[in-house]
Homo-oligomer: A and B are copies of this chain.
Amino acid sequence: MIARKSKHVYIGSAGLYRGGERKDAMTPGMPTIDAAPSESDAPGGVRQRDAANTRQCLLQAARRRFAHDGYAATTVRDIATDAGVNVALINRYFTSKEGLFEACLTRAVEELDRPIPESDTVELMLQTMLRHLAELPSGEHPLGLLLLLRSSGDESAERIRRNTFRHFAERLAAAAGWRPDDAETEHLMLRAQIALSVGFGIVLLRTTSGLEALSSASAGDLAGPLGDVFAALLEPAPDARP
């Protein structure tokens, strides 16, 4: 018995994925960014042309696949099918599979880094993390953090990843009082990185461990425990702690 690659059909909480053999259902219509195929695209209809839209569709589909299955496990054909788009267009718009992944990563980093309220506090960073752990208003899980964990092996993508990690670690550490070259506060960097680990660990186990309580927890459910963790790690304790 050969364990063939699973062409799984995702039925996420809010329809993360539509069925596998999208091609039959979609083409030749206009690629749609989200949810069910729009009513308007008749099966025999005319393929409309909209470069920006197809680009977005590809990005969206790629984000989901990459985040969920990892880089190596997803094929460009998977992505194209999900997006309801011809495979060759991936290379047209993103040069290569690596290019597409890098585009996903870049967009994810932008999303994660958007709210920079100048003065960081541990509390604010905690809320940002919470927002990216839990469900979006649209009902979809945020994929940015997850994407950051899916390495492609490509050098330039890897650099983006590492820079992002370092950037957030430093922001978090700084919010907790860490200052560069200050040996006195050096331990805070490690603690900030551990705090970061918590977030990534949660997002990973939420999506891949099958732990019921964790994967179904809402932002509100996580707020309490996660607040305790951040406080224990980064808030100066009453009794001095090396």
Q: Which residues of A contact B (CB under 8 A)?
A: 2-3, 5-6, 8, 69-73, 96-98, 149, 151, 153-154, 161-162, 165-166, 169, 189-191, 193-194, 196-202, 204-205, 208-211, 213-214, 217, 221-222, 224-226, 228-229, 231-233, 237, 241-242
The reply to whether B3 and A154 contact each other, CB–CB distance below 8 Å, is yes
Give the distance in Å from the alpha carbon of A32 to the alpha carbon of B72 in the complex: 29
| Given A201-B197, A228-B232, A233-B229, A162-B242 contact (CB < 8 Å) | no
Q: Which of B5, B97, B98 has a CB less than 8 Å from the CB of A153?
A: B5
Cβ–Cβ contact B213 & A193, under 8 A: yes
Contact between chains at A198 and B3 (CB < 8 Å): no
Task: Give every chain B residue within 8 A of A228 (Cβ-Cβ).
Answer: 232-233, 237, 241
Complex CA distance for A237 and B224, rounded to whole angstroms: 13
Let me know if B165 and A193 touch, CB within 8 A.
no
Return the chain B residue nearest A197 by Cβ: B201
Instruction: Report the minimal beta-carbon distance from A195 to chain B, rounded to whole angstroms.
Output: 9
Write out the residue numbers on chain B whose beta carbons fall within 8 Å of the beta carbon of A214: 190, 193-194, 197
Q: Are A198 and B229 in contact (CB under 8 A)?
A: yes
Q: Contacts of A149 on B, CB cut-off 8 Å?
A: 204, 208
- The answer to whether A166 and B3 touch across the interface, beta carbons within 8 angstroms, is no
When C-beta atoms are compared, the residue in chain B nearest to A148 turns out to be: B209
The A interface is mostly helix, strand or loop, or mixed, namely: helix
Nearest CB in chain B: distance from A9 CB, A: 13
Give bound CA distance, A196 to B217, whole Å: 15
Q: Is the CB of B201 within 8 A of A189?
A: no
User: Is B194 within 8 A of A202, CB to CB?
Assistant: yes
CA distance A211 to B97 in the complex (A): 26
User: Which residues of the partner chain B approach A196 to less than 8 Å between Cβ atoms?
Assistant: 201, 205, 211
If A98-B3, A201-B200 touch, does A209 touch B72 (CB 8 Å cutoff)? no
A197 touches B193 (CB 8 A): no
Q: Choose from B69, B204, B208, B241 the contact partner of A201 (Cβ within 8 Å).
A: B204
Contact partner of A200 (CB less than 8 A), chosen from B8, B97, B205, is B205
The verdict on A193 contacting B221 (CB below 8 Å), with A98-B3, A154-B3 known, is no
| Complex interface: chain B residues within 8 A of A6 (CB) | 153
